[in-house]
Amino acid sequence: MAASKDEVNRKLTFRKYEDGVHRWRSQGENIFNEDTSNKCPTYVHRTPPCQGSCPSGEDVRGWLNIVRGIELPPSEVSMQEYAFRRSTDANPFPSMMGRVCPAPCEQGCNRNNVDDFVGINAVEQYIGDTAKSEGFKFAAAPPIGKQRVAIIGGGPAGLAAAYQLRRKGIASTIFDEHDELGGMFRYGIPGYRTPREFLDHEINRILELGDIDTRMATRVGRDVSLADLEQEYDALLWAIGCQSGRGLPLEHGDAPNCISGVAFLEAFNRGALQVTADRVVCVGGGDTSIDVVSVARRLGKIDKLPKDQLTEFVVGGFTAHDSAYAASRQGAEVTLTSLFERAEMTATEHEVDDALREGVRILDGVMPIEIVVNDEGRATALKLAKCEFIDGKPTALDGSEFEIECDLIVSAIGQGGDLQGIEELGNDRSLMDADKFFQHAQKPGHFVAGDIIHPHLLTTAIGHAAIAADSIERYLGGGEFSKRPKVDVHHFDLLSKLKEMDLAPSEFQHQGTWGTNEADFAVHNYEDRAANEIISSERLYLSHFNYEARHLREMHGPDSEKVLGDFAERTRSLSETEAVEEAGRCMSCGMCFECDNCVIYCPQDAVYRVPKESKTMGRYVATDYTRCIGCHICADVCPTGYIDMALGDH
């Protein structure tokens, strides 16, 4: 878990000295006790844990190093546009993800072992928002072939798949039963978290690539048959998400005023739900439940709401509220219950903090045990009990029962797919099975991506889509499916970088030779293990890094007195200066960031800077093997773990 703000303010998580060590001791006593060996330094590229933790596989270190000015763009491209290009290789939604991704990359960040994680989300939002304001476009896509793919679902996975396929020269048609594209971005997350102007811009930028058709308000299995799609298209990708919420597994769980969190949020995001009930109880503990209670606090309730316009009728699609109701809103009493204690809730920590500030009551470590109904069959209270986990299952503690009176119960305990009309594709969990290449388990030519495989994060769905697009390309080309890398993310490619900067090695003449350190047909003393290794903090020289406070974005967070009717965007983007400084906190794990330690501390002057005209990212230093004595000082003082003592005899 990433360090919290309180922890960072209170103490550092890494110290250079242990308890009881009180005498200053020169680092030279440890480092400059020179010895020799038969090994010399080699420069080894590994994957940082931020990228290894990113389900969509973004080259996080790469675009952070671009923003901070370590990796320079081609002369005709700005830093911002170059960072945008690198970021969107894996994920075409930097504005959206910078706002709403729970950032497993930050939890994996090695900087947590020094002070606090790098604000990766904040820098990504800066990249995405700048791309919008500057009008950056994706590179022109290649010409399309004769084949076309049907993508069922226009949410994050479907749109990301269309984007990745189009970059491969493959056209697609997106089918979606909604009136607008966006899926969970639009219908599952409130607009104050995913501002629609930014969402629409990022969707339109994908469509502008061309040859991505859309068929909206079209449900496969109802408006168009599966057989017709199989006949008309060369491959199908199922990215329909999970639009059916799971009800409480209790008697009376089907009471009319017991609804799902998914349905509640969709009704709100469609604009149909303008107010909610007087007393709302949401059962959950994840991010969806936080959105439910935050929306409920903003909507509030009104007195004497007509019976046919109660929340359940609006959510069910039988009616819609008049927007004039907004003028009569009053505060609603909103409670969130969770099986887990607060520290173990799956919701993002700052979202929980926001909900508490907005006046939501949170009851943690409790489980629902009974829904109390009246003579009309409507829920009037939810009975709960304190619980503990025994063999992984929550168990109520005797004598701890209590009731909460309520007018609306919202269940946010999980989601499933809506497979009506396409039942043959589903499994017994209302999901779809897929193999490691994201092929449908029973249907050749069918592929699957996103929550319909297993409900998880938006970034996970986008990562699925990229791999599925690779598999579809291979399938359409008649090729064999090959094993994917052990560390399956977007990696820095030194050879591509050298070509981009007109520094590519000369053509190899295919003749026997000894030694390559002075040859120009090989990349001297460099090894790429990024596809197989993630670099841990133990490989870094952490003492190099000083305490630097994280640049926090300005957050708009209303309190309980001001939350009613407040739908303003929560998150303000960093300024350019702030973004550059925050990116500068990145420790560039597994890649040189040009600190000069190895050059300065080498006692033999064997490590040297590559000539300026030949320098680029990953090629800043090299070693003169005629001088090197294998003393390993360069490896000891390398902050990023980029230097290994290897190569054997010299």
Task: Evaluate if residue 409 carries a pLDDT over 60.
Answer: yes
Task: Evaluate if residue 338 carries a pLDDT over 60.
Answer: yes
| Owner of token pair 């084949």 | 147
Q: Mean pLDDT, to the nearest integer, of 43-58?
A: 96
Whether 208 and 92 have beta carbons less than 8 Å apart is answered as: no
pLDDT tens track for 478-501: 988 889 999 999 999 999 999 999
What pLDDT score does 35 carry?
Answer: 60
Task: Evaluate if residue 6 carries a pLDDT over 70.
Answer: no
Q: Domain 148-243+417-476's class? A: alpha beta
Segments of the chain assigned to CATH 3.50.50.60: 148-243+417-476, 245-414
Fold for the domain defined by 245-414: FAD/NAD(P)-binding domain (3.50.50)
- Calpha distance 292→51 (Å, rounded): 31
Of 109-123, 315-329, 589-603, minimum mean pLDDT range: 315-329
- Calpha distance 619→526 (Å, rounded): 9
Which amino acid type is present at position 109? C
What pLDDT score does 380 carry?
Answer: 97
Q: Mean pLDDT, to the nearest integer, of 304-323?
A: 91
Return the bridge partners of 393, or none. Answer: 390
pLDDT-based confidence at 29, cuts 50/70/90?
Answer: low
Average pLDDT of the chain, as a whole number: 91
Task: Evaluate if residue 417 carries a pLDDT over 90.
Answer: yes
What pLDDT score does 231 carry?
Answer: 96
What pLDDT score does 8 carry?
Answer: 47
What pLDDT score does 1 carry?
Answer: 42
Q: What is the DSSP letter of 411?
A: E
- Calpha distance 604→630 (Å, rounded): 10
Taking alpha carbons only, the member of 158, 213, 152, 155 closest to residue 181 is: 155
What pLDDT score does 515 carry?
Answer: 62
| Owner of token pair 């050879």 | 495
Whether 179 and 217 have beta carbons less than 8 Å apart is answered as: yes
Phi (first) and psi of residue 346, to 5 degrees: -80, -15
- Calpha distance 530→532 (Å, rounded): 5
Q: What is the pTM of this model?
A: 0.91
pLDDT tens track for 608-648: 999 999 899 999 999 988 888 888 899 999 999 999 998 65
| 3-class secondary-structure state, position 330 | strand
What residues contact 203, with CB distance under 8 A and at least 6 apart?
A: 159, 181, 182
- Calpha distance 130→65 (Å, rounded): 17
Phi (first) and psi of residue 395, to 5 degrees: -130, 125
Q: What is the DSSP letter of 498?
A: H
